[in-house]
Chains A and B, each alone.
Chain A
Amino acid sequence: MKPFYEILVVGGGHAGTEAAYISSKMGIRTLLITNSVSKIGELSCNPAIGGLGKGHLVREVDALGGIMGVVADASGIQFRLLNKSKGPAVQGPRTQIDRQEYKKIIQKKLNKIGLLTIIEAEVIDLVVKDYSVSGVILGNSEIIYCKSVILTTGTFLNGKIHIGDKSYSGGRSEDLASIRLANRLREMNLPMGRLKTGTPPRLDSKTINWSILEKQYADVKPHYFSFSTKKTRLKQIACHITFTNKKTHEIIEKNINKSSIYNGKILSAGPRYCPSIEDKVIRFSEKESHQIFLEPEGLNSDVIYPNGISTSLPEDIQEKYIRSIKALETVKILKLGYAIEYDYVDPRSLKPSLEMKALKGLFLAGQINGTTGYEEAASQGLIAGINSVMFVRSNEPVIIQRDQGYIGVLIDDLVTRGVKEPYRMFTSRAEYRLTLRADNADQRLTQLGSDLGTIDSNRNNTFLNKISKIKKAKSLLKECKITPSKAIKLGLTVKQDGKIRSALDFISNSKVPLKKIQTLWPELKCIEKSILLQVAHDVRYDIYIRRQKVEIEETKKNSRTKIPENFDYKLINGLSNEIRAKLELIRPIDLLQASRIDGMTPAALTLVHLWIKKYSGVNRDNGNYEQHLYGAKSSF
């Protein structure tokens, strides 16, 4: 019997909403099951989206037809482009978010989709038969059948909240943890581990002495996430900056043993790059002060999120150290900071499609895979959603390559290298960073979105229009030529080498203002400013990108060598047990992925390569040599 819902999404966070949105948009009847319908799209931690690397992810999600970019734009209250002083490749769009607005808009959008149904229930088990998932069991024992399940349980799997020496089970500050499901997953022998993350106390805006603090304003010209956003919807606000001081550090040091991370209550790894204030004080004891951004949670909210001081100290100490900080002397804590430990599934047990290797039709996305961050979750949710649809339709999965997008980097890192701490995106993780810019996410991924049917024709046409404008602008710029001596006369800095240069050459140089180019060549005035800027960004890294292209080609040559899915690594003499075990666990799809496995040696990789070549050679000869090569026992 055909199940009514083809895809079930468990969880209504950023991975779950993205997955449910895209699968239903692609025409598949989808059911989203969440513990709390009213909390769909909740920003559980800081009220901001984007940043370095993260902003890149959101733009890619948007280029592929995802929901996060559009909603973040509509609820953004402080758009800021980070790293403005650096080149376009490492600039990241970011905005403060009105938490209530974000939730409201995303819920409205999901409710509008005909093929998507949302229910409130706890999922306690999966229906599994023949290593294939075919439904879920709810808390009331009801069974819902389906073809594919996407698990996006966030920090809820066996979540445990710690504040000082107190700890209790919970998935978020006021929400229940999913214990029964976590236990079932453990019983299924999925490789699981435990991670930790934390959140700072929330402060009452009315009790902060704002007037004495330094302000940080929104950009005059906002950079949006979505390629379709045209204007800012909400009022823009400023954030304020304050700092910890010697006294703050003394208080924390004196009470360090009361912190859950230091009193032995928490043993799991937290993110090194987003340390709690306890970690900052102890590990970087030479630093006398740490920066704190006071971020409003919304236009009509009195809640302030103090970014930079997550903690698991007990209540009285939290209050004491917070009140030692400038402008917070009389502050009222609305909600305590806490650390949370939760179960995650070793992402190396996933295929690059985010489907579990061991359980057909089961996809995982978000923090359950060991990541942290809304943007990382949304990216995985989107890909899990798309690939769940592909699975239901018996199509090949969609895999974004490392040279195609940060999403590709993220997923490949997860499934190949696994995680040792909550995984967050950085631009330094992308080896093709100069190619993968936030500004060209549409150029990299719109085609794919259009092929998949995840972006509408309107959007595609706008994109094609933009591309043709860029092309025209480029050829116009190329036609405007000038000799070095004339260029110098006109005030352009250039080598006196007699080489005739075009306007295109000049705009690749960040030091030459685009306006000046248009003044020197009035025929360029017809080019829209945004298009001219895009061309400038595109040509900016030309020589590096060309070099990288050669590398990408070479790497692709490498990756073409696929490793047969059932390849028996035991056949290879001379592989160390450790490496064999890793290969058997990760089952890389090609040599390229194999090469990125932790601890992989050149010798081992070469052996694998040679044996695959041998294997394909046997195939060619119709297996005549099989026995000769492998002896009587052969698994090929």
Chain B
Amino acid sequence: MSATIFALSTPPGISAVSIIRISGPDTFRAVGRLLGLKKPCKMVFSQLRKVHLRKIFSIEGRLLDEGLVILFKKGRSFTGEDMAELQLHGSHIVIKTVLESLTSLGYARLAKPGEFTKKALENNRLSISEVEGLSDLLVAETEAQQEQALNIYSGSLSKKINSWKERTTKILSSVEAAIDFSDEVNSDSLVNGVIHDLKILETELVEEKEGFKSAESIRGGFEVALVGKPNVGKSTLLNGLAKRKLAITSEITGTTRDIIELRYNLDGLPVTFLDTAGVRHTDDEVEKIGVSNSIDRVNNSDVRVFLTNDKEEIRSFGVKYVKSDIVLRPKGDLPGSEPSISGKTGKGFEVLLETLKKTFSDKVRKASNITRTRHLEKIISCLDHLRTIRVYMEEKNYEDEIIAEELRTILRNFDGLLGVVNTEEILGEIFNSFCIGK
């Protein structure tokens, strides 16, 4: 039976309305629970394709939001299955809690990228022109483009996976030999033979996993650090952005000791502006800590906006400076060189925000490559299997065919990553070019 899936179908971030879609046999049951109904009552089913204003509750009965609920019956929905759309307020907390509630039901899961479209295709619900559109993407275009579309992995990554695969195959083949040629291969010497290779593989996978963690953190949102000497007007700029008093601004040097954050919705992209403690040398102990904290945050930020009249001065701040960082002359309301910015008049805001948007959109496109999450999942799964093997071997409590089975599972994981075996998975890859919830 097909799974019941759900996902946020609108871009994440702050917006007026966010839509959560649910599809699958248990859709109405799930919606019933969210509406706080003991059983999915008749009213729900009789009111298909009508819009209802309803309160949404968590599983424990806590009120989460009020929104519009639309139900679609099997055969008359986008996916061809029972479906629901919840139109909720576009707030982080609402989305998060509603998605969590759905997860905690136990019989529904978060959709994979493109899974709704895939269901629609499987149930023959996509019109021929839509299928055409999809296949245009793959068929009508040049072979090179097709390859590009399917070859999600950069050469270096697939090379890596292939080398893991090779290593695993090597280990597996000695285990298989001990099974199928037990007359000739001594299985007692097996452990010593493969344990070294197993260790190397594990180390490499752990490294890979750690690498992904940092890549993942980008997705939580982007940080923009405002950097400049004290009193250069950083807080005024932040206030200007927030259009309200958020940071304390004053003429006295060193007022802004802590890092002040402004969460900003840059056309759907979650961006946090950081007003850092003024970067300067100080003897004040408290301020020293503030300065050192500032430097760490600044270096970890995605983009730094340097407010300075003199590019040469940047080096003296002692923070990271990369090509994508932005340098602006502060107090742009006063005459001087360009580009400049003014927190007082709002001059230069548009240009700054446009530039940031462009930078981040590029990053989003790269980072939201969902296959990367899949990748991580598979690597974690491989590591689990490797650990199982290690425990078996250390306890000397194993049978060759069990070790082989674990290794085969690892190989299948790698194959899945390379897309070698499973077309469903490959199709899944293609649907990754759609967003989650589409």
Does B bind A? yes
Interfacial residues of chain A within 592-608, with CB under 8 A of chain B in the complex: 595, 602-603, 605-607
Complex contacts, A554 vs chain B, CB 8 Å: 422, 424
Q: Does A614 contact B (CB under 8 A)?
A: yes
- Does B131 contact A617, Cβ atoms closer than 8 Å? yes
- Does B179 contact A86, Cβ atoms closer than 8 Å? yes
Q: Does A207 contact B (CB under 8 A)?
A: no
A63-82 vs B, Cβ < 8 Å mask (1 yes, 0 no): 00000000000000000001
Complex contacts, A243 vs chain B, CB 8 Å: none
- Bound-state CA distance A90–B405 (Å) is 12
Complex contacts, A428 vs chain B, CB 8 Å: 176, 179-180, 404
Complex contacts, B184 vs chain A, CB 8 Å: 291
> Which one of A544, A603, A606, A617 contacts B124 once the chains associate, using CB atoms below 8 Å?
A617
- Does A606 contact B180, Cβ atoms closer than 8 Å? no
Complex contacts, A625 vs chain B, CB 8 Å: 128
Q: Does B182 contact A (CB under 8 A)?
A: yes
B159 to A: closest C-beta gap in Å? 16
Q: Does A110 contact B (CB under 8 A)?
A: no
User: Would A609 and B423 be within 8 Å (CB), given that A433-B401, A510-B399, A617-B124 are in contact?
Assistant: yes
B302 to A: closest C-beta gap in Å? 33
Most buried by B among A52, A90, A551, A572: A90
Complex contacts, A85 vs chain B, CB 8 Å: 187
Q: Does A610 contact B (CB under 8 A)?
A: yes
- Does A613 contact B131, Cβ atoms closer than 8 Å? yes
> Which one of A510, A561, A606 contacts B150 once the chains associate, using CB atoms below 8 Å?
A606
A603 to B: closest C-beta gap in Å? 4
User: Would A614 and B135 be within 8 Å (CB), given that A52-B180, A603-B146 are in contact?
Assistant: yes
> Which one of B128, B140, B143, B402 contacts A87 once the chains associate, using CB atoms below 8 Å?
B402
- Bound-state CA distance A291–B183 (Å) is 9
- Bound-state CA distance A359–B295 (Å) is 78
Per DSSP, chain B at the interface is: helix
Q: Does B48 contact A (CB under 8 A)?
A: no
> Which one of A510, A609, A618 contacts B427 once the chains associate, using CB atoms below 8 Å?
A609
Complex contacts, A433 vs chain B, CB 8 Å: 401, 404-405
Complex contacts, A605 vs chain B, CB 8 Å: 423, 426
- Does B139 contact A86, Cβ atoms closer than 8 Å? no
User: Would A544 and B405 be within 8 Å (CB), given that A291-B184, A606-B426 are in contact?
Assistant: yes
B88 to A: closest C-beta gap in Å? 33
User: Would A602 and B420 be within 8 Å (CB), given that A291-B183, A428-B179 are in contact?
Assistant: yes
A309 to B: closest C-beta gap in Å? 14
Q: Does A354 contact B (CB under 8 A)?
A: no
- Does B426 contact A602, Cβ atoms closer than 8 Å? yes
- Does B402 contact A614, Cβ atoms closer than 8 Å? no
Interfacial residues of chain B within 104-137, with CB under 8 A of chain A in the complex: 121, 124, 126, 128, 131-132, 134-135
Closest to A290 in B: B184
Q: How many B residues touch A, CB cutoff 8 Å?
A: 45
User: Would A431 and B408 be within 8 Å (CB), given that A90-B401, A602-B426, A606-B430 are in contact?
Assistant: yes
Interfacial residues of chain A within 49-67, with CB under 8 A of chain B in the complex: 52-53
- Does B134 contact A434, Cβ atoms closer than 8 Å? no
- Does A620 contact B124, Cβ atoms closer than 8 Å? yes
- Does B131 contact A614, Cβ atoms closer than 8 Å? yes
Complex contacts, B124 vs chain A, CB 8 Å: 616-617, 620
- Bound-state CA distance A616–B426 (Å) is 20
- Does A621 contact B128, Cβ atoms closer than 8 Å? yes
Interfacial residues of chain B within 338-358, with CB under 8 A of chain A in the complex: none
> Which one of B143, B176, B183, B409 contacts A574 once the chains associate, using CB atoms below 8 Å?
B143
Q: Does A126 contact B (CB under 8 A)?
A: no
Q: Does A547 contact B (CB under 8 A)?
A: yes
> Which one of A83, A511, A572 contacts B139 once the chains associate, using CB atoms below 8 Å?
A572
- Does B139 contact A607, Cβ atoms closer than 8 Å? yes
Interfacial residues of chain A within 338-390, with CB under 8 A of chain B in the complex: none
- Does B180 contact A427, Cβ atoms closer than 8 Å? yes
- Bound-state CA distance A511–B184 (Å) is 26
- Does B128 contact A547, Cβ atoms closer than 8 Å? no
- Does A603 contact B423, Cβ atoms closer than 8 Å? no
A100-120 vs B, Cβ < 8 Å mask (1 yes, 0 no): 000000000000000000000
Interfacial residues of chain B within 404-438, with CB under 8 A of chain A in the complex: 404-405, 408-409, 412, 418-424, 426-427, 429-430
A408-446 vs B, Cβ < 8 Å mask (1 yes, 0 no): 000000000000000000111001011000000000000
User: Would A52 and B426 be within 8 Å (CB), given that A428-B176, A434-B405, A614-B135 are in contact?
Assistant: no
Closest to A571 in B: B139
User: Would A87 and B401 be within 8 Å (CB), given that A547-B409, A614-B131 are in contact?
Assistant: yes
- Does B409 contact A427, Cβ atoms closer than 8 Å? no
- Does B399 contact A86, Cβ atoms closer than 8 Å? yes
- Bound-state CA distance A18–B114 (Å) is 51
> Which one of B128, B150, B422 contacts A617 once the chains associate, using CB atoms below 8 Å?
B128
Complex contacts, A634 vs chain B, CB 8 Å: none
Q: Does A450 contact B (CB under 8 A)?
A: no
Q: Does A557 contact B (CB under 8 A)?
A: yes
Closest to A87 in B: B399
Complex contacts, B404 vs chain A, CB 8 Å: 428, 433
User: Would A629 and B128 be within 8 Å (CB), given that A602-B420, A602-B426, A606-B426 are in contact?
Assistant: yes
Q: Does B214 contact A (CB under 8 A)?
A: no
Q: Does B147 contact A (CB under 8 A)?
A: yes
A262 to B: closest C-beta gap in Å? 23
Q: Does A395 contact B (CB under 8 A)?
A: no
Complex contacts, A574 vs chain B, CB 8 Å: 138-139, 143, 146
Complex contacts, B134 vs chain A, CB 8 Å: 610
- Does B138 contact A610, Cβ atoms closer than 8 Å? yes
B385-414 vs A, Cβ < 8 Å mask (1 yes, 0 no): 000000000000101111011001100100
- Does B128 contact A52, Cβ atoms closer than 8 Å? no
- Bound-state CA distance A554–B424 (Å) is 9
B382 to A: closest C-beta gap in Å? 14
Complex contacts, B150 vs chain A, CB 8 Å: 602-603, 606
- Does B426 contact A89, Cβ atoms closer than 8 Å? no
Q: Does A460 contact B (CB under 8 A)?
A: no
A308 to B: closest C-beta gap in Å? 9
- Bound-state CA distance A591–B421 (Å) is 10
Interfacial residues of chain A within 533-582, with CB under 8 A of chain B in the complex: 541, 544, 547, 551, 554-555, 557-558, 561, 572-574
- Bound-state CA distance A282–B349 (Å) is 78
A81 to B: closest C-beta gap in Å? 12
What would 20 A/B residue contacts be, using CB atoms closer than 8 Å? A86-B179, A90-B401, A291-B184, A426-B180, A427-B179, A541-B402, A544-B402, A554-B422, A557-B424, A558-B424, A572-B139, A573-B139, A574-B146, A602-B429, A605-B426, A610-B131, A610-B138, A610-B427, A617-B131, A629-B128
Could you tell me which A residues sit within 8 Å of B by CB distance? 52-53, 82-83, 85-87, 89-90, 273, 291, 426-428, 431, 433-434, 510-511, 541, 544, 547, 551, 554-555, 557-558, 561, 572-574, 591, 595, 602-603, 605-607, 609-611, 613-614, 616-618, 620-621, 625, 629
A-B interface, 3 closest residue pairs, ranked by CB to CB distance from nearest: A602-B419, A428-B176, A87-B399
